[in-house]
Amino acid sequence: MKILIAPDSFKGGMTAKEAATAIAAGIQPIFPTADLVTVPMADGGEGTVQSLVDATAGQFITVTVSGPLRTPVQAQYGLLGDGQTAVIEMAAASGLQYVDETTHNPLVTTTFGTGELILAALDQGVKRIILGIGGSATNDGGAGMAQALGVSLLTKSGQSISVGGGGLADLDRIDTSTVDARLKTVELLIASDVTNPLVGPDGASAVFGPQKGATPEMVKILDRNLRHYAAVIHRDLGQSLADRSGAGAAGGLGAGLLAFTNATMEKGVEIVLEYTGLREKAKGVDLVFTGEGGIDFQTQFGKTPFGVAQATKEVAPNAPVVVLAGNVGDGVAALYRPDAIDAIFSIVPGVSDLKTAIENGPENLRQTAENVARLYQSIELKSRR
């Protein structure tokens, strides 16, 4: 018997690898001779570096870069087992964890450190970079990242614009003649499931700005500045990004990457599926376990459990796919499809506060996996009679 175990992280409680270990611990006593194939997963957001480093026997590299407030921070990125691919989470340099209620201000926070992480990866001689762009504290359209890579964003007087979403108002022209030449030869994949445009009511500022500290008045300023930024990019670089799907990801970092690098944008889970080789590993499986901290109707739009389910059903259409989650939200009925998920279980055994649920997460996950394995065993035995 072959069982695939491919969960995402349970945010705040378990990494994807720890979750896979807990699930395996629940299954193993019930099916002691089974081939348990564990593939820690991610969808381009938090945990992507960990997942791909674990899956490819890669390594972590720590560098000092600029945080969103331009103070030095220690940020990690991954060098995958092939030695030619770097995987970066922009949040490692420019994430919300570096600001608080007194310091968050998207008018001044910058993606400069994300650009420095890209440069650090280029210094390793990599041929491709996977960049996950969730969890940002920024709304600068990737301007800071571009400046770190050598792009000149200039005022009318020829000075560099100030950092942050506020500085974009002073942008007069763009000069890419001094951009790092290595960007022309490296393949850059943007891992994101965000489809928001750069500007407008569904854009970066209006939808994501408030969670980064933007007041209603700030949102108006930021959106106006990004619209101006897009107009200058269109004039100087010939690219139309204001309404492009995904350009609003990570406070417009999606737009900056599309404008100043040879980047292409893909769903994060699809990139992880490819680099972990999950489809190949899923061939011949009898049962599949996946999961993450929370699941609801939005899971079908690029989240790990749905991606794992669909990928495994492509190569093992008769293998039941079971999702284990800390919280089962609204609309999960939409996830039950012949080509996707077969069953969803909450791992929380009873009423519990969040702190306790997180603390008990590994044991609850192990126990739930064991219970599902016992049910599957019982059904299998009865079907043979």
What pLDDT, in 10s, does the model give residues 309-352? 999 999 999 999 999 999 999 999 999 999 999 999 999 988 88
Which pLDDT score, from 0 to 100, does residue 158 have? 96
Domain layout of the chain by residue ranges: 2-39+289-384, 48-268
**Tens digit of each residue's pLDDT (9 = 90 or more) over 231-278:** 999 999 999 999 999 999 999 999 999 999 999 999 888 999 998 999
User: Residues of the chain with pLDDT > 90: what percent?
Assistant: 82
Q: Is the pLDDT of residue 39 over 90?
A: yes
pLDDT of residue 165: 97
Question: Residue 203 has which token pair?
Answer: 């854009």
HEC sequence for the chain: CEEEECCCCECCCECHHHHHHHHHHHHCCCCCCCEEEECCCCCCCCCHHHHHHHHHCCEEEEEEEECCCCCEEEEEEEECCCCCEEEEECHHHHEHHHCCCCCCCCCCCCCHHHHHHHHHHHHCCCCEEEEECCCECCCCCCHHHHHHCCCEEECCCCCECCCCCCHHHHCCEEECCCCCHHHHCCEEEEECCCCCCCCCCCCHHHHHCHHHCCCHHHHHHHHHHHHHHHHHHHHHHCCCCCCCCCCCHHHHHHHHHHHHCCCEEECHHHHHHHHHCHHHHCCCCCEEEEEEEEECHHHHCCCHHHHHHHHHHHHCCCCCEEEEEEEECCCHHHHECCCCECEEEECCCCCCCHHHHHHCHHHHHHHHHHHHHHHHHHHHHHHHC
Cβ–Cβ < 8 Å for 109, 162: no
Average pLDDT, integer, range 294-305: 88
CB-based contacts of 70-76 (< 8 A; 24+ apart in sequence):
70/110, 70/112, 70/163, 71/98, 73/98, 73/113, 75/113, 75/117, 76/49
Is the pLDDT at 306 greater than 90? The verdict is yes
Nearest to 358 by CA among 323, 326, 310: 326
pLDDT at 194: 83
Give CATH for domain 48-268: 3.90.1510.10
Q: What is the reported pLDDT for 180? A: 95
d(CA 376, CA 66): 51
The pLDDT assigned to 332 comes to: 93
pLDDT higher for 296 or 381? Answer: 296
296: buried, middle or exposed (CB in 10 Å: 19+, 13-18, 0-12)? middle
pLDDT tens by residue, 141-187 = 999 999 999 999 999 999 999 999 999 999 999 999 999 999 999 99
Percentage of the chain lying above the pLDDT 70 cut: 100
Check pLDDT > 70 for residue 385.
Answer: no
Inter-residue contact 173 to 205 (CB < 8 Å): no
Residue 8 is predicted with a pLDDT of: 92
Q: Output the pLDDT for position 83.
A: 94
* 351 Cβ contact list (under 8 Å, min separation 6): none
Residue 137 token pair: 């504290």
CA proximity to 324, closest of 344, 297, 348, 352:
344
Beta sheet of 264-266, edge-to-edge order: 59-66, 72-79, 85-89, 128-132, 187-191, 264-266
Mean pLDDT confidence for 38-60 = 88
Closest CA to 17 of 44, 63, 45, 52: 52
- The second-level CATH assignment, the architecture, of 2-39+289-384 is 3-Layer(aba) Sandwich (3.40)
Contact by Cβ (8 Å): 20, 39: yes
Q: 10 Å Cβ neighbour count for 37?
A: 18
- Over the stretch 192-231, which tens digit does the pLDDT of each residue have? 878 899 999 999 999 999 999 999 999 999 999 999 999 9
- At residue 15, what is the residue type? T
